[in-house]
Amino acid sequence: MKTALAAVALLTAALAAQAQSSFFPQESETAAAETAAARDYLAAKDRWHNELAAFARADQERFPAPGGVVFVGSSTVRMWTRLSQDFSHVPGGVINRGFGGSTLADCALFARDLVVRYKPRQVMVYAGDNDLTEGRTPLQVLDSFARLANAVRAELPDARISFISVKPSPSREQLLPQIRETNHMVSAYLNLLPNSEFIDIYTPMLGADGRPRPELFRSDKLHLTDEGYHLWQSVIAPHLQAPPATPTAGLP
C-alpha cells in the first residue's frame, strides 16, 4: 500500500507539474507532444476501425440522450450483452462502449469519442488487465486512467467517474500481484479525486482459498459466465447514481 500511495503521489505531482508547465510551454516540447498524441490516436483509430465504425452506426440509428451512464472498457464490458437489461432501472439508461481486447491506454485515447460525446452524468470504467498482459506496469496503467479521467473532467466537470477494479482471471493468475498493485494505486488515486469512486470487484471474485472462483469464468478462464455477470451486477448496481433532482417551480 505504501508503494501504491508513493506512486500516486509521484503521478499526481507529475500531472500537476505538467498542467503548471502548460502556462509556459516550450514551443518545441508542445509540438512534439501534440505530434506524439496525434500519432498514437491515429494508430489506435486504425487498429480499432471496425469497432469504432459499429459505434458510429449505432449512434446514427439512435443517438443516446445526455445524462445517462457510459460503460467503457475492454471485452468484459463488450460481452456484457444484458447490460441494458441488468440496469434497466437506471434513469437515463446505460450505454455500452466496450471494445474487445482494448487497453486502458486505448480508452484514454478515445475518451472524447466514447465518453464525452454522450455527455453522461457517470462513467463506469473497466480496463487494465490487457495493459498488464502487454507488459505495462501498474504505474503506467494508473497513468492511463488519470489521462482518461482528466479528459472527461476537462469537458464534463460534474460527471462522476467510477473505476471497476481489475478482476482476478484464472488465466492471468500469474499477474495477480500486479493486478492487486494496480487496484491499490487506482483506489488511492481516486481518494484524491472528487466525485469519483473505486468499485472493488476483485475481492468478491475470490474463493475461500484466495484464488479466483472458477464458476465465474468461461472455459477460457478469462471472460465471465452468466453467474459472473450476475455478481458484477449486484456489486455495481448500488454505485449507479440517480440524476440530480430538478428543482420544483416556485420553491426556493
Residue 146 has a CB neighbour count (10 Å cut-off) of 19
**Contact at 8 Å (CB) between 120 and 156?**
yes
Res 3 pLDDT > 60: no
Per-residue pLDDT of 143-194, as tens digits, reads 999 999 999 999 999 999 999 999 999 999 999 999 999 999 999 999 999 9
Nearest to 164 by CA among 73, 92, 64, 251: 73
* Mean pLDDT, range 120-139, rounded to an integer: 98
Report pLDDT for 29. 59
The superfamily in CATH containing domain 2-9+67-239 is: SGNH hydrolase (3.40.50.1110)
User: Which amino acid is present at 129?
Assistant: D
Q: Please, where are the H alpha helices in 192-236?
A: 226-236
Residue 106 has a CB neighbour count (10 Å cut-off) of 24
Report pLDDT for 241. 75
Res 129 pLDDT > 50: yes
Report pLDDT for 16. 45
DSSP state of 224: B
Q: How confident is the model at residue 206 (pLDDT cuts 50, 70, 90)?
A: very high
Greater confidence, 79 or 28? 79
Q: How confident is the model at residue 9 (pLDDT cuts 50, 70, 90)?
A: low
Res 48 pLDDT > 50: yes
Report pLDDT for 249. 43
Among the ranges given (27-31, 185-189, 202-206, 207-211), the one the predictor scored with the smallest mean pLDDT: 27-31
Report pLDDT for 250. 46
Res 59 pLDDT > 60: yes
Mean per-residue pLDDT of the chain: 89
**Contact at 8 Å (CB) between 84 and 64?**
no
* Mean pLDDT, range 86-111, rounded to an integer: 95
Report pLDDT for 35. 81
Report pLDDT for 100. 87
pTM score, two decimals? 0.86
Report pLDDT for 36. 81
* Mean pLDDT, range 94-118, rounded to an integer: 96
* Mean pLDDT, range 74-84, rounded to an integer: 97
Per-residue pLDDT of 208-246, as tens digits, reads 999 999 999 999 999 999 999 999 999 999 999 777 665
Q: How far is CA 47 from CA 39, 98, 136, in A?
A: 12, 15, 19
* Mean pLDDT, range 83-109, rounded to an integer: 95
Report pLDDT for 51. 96
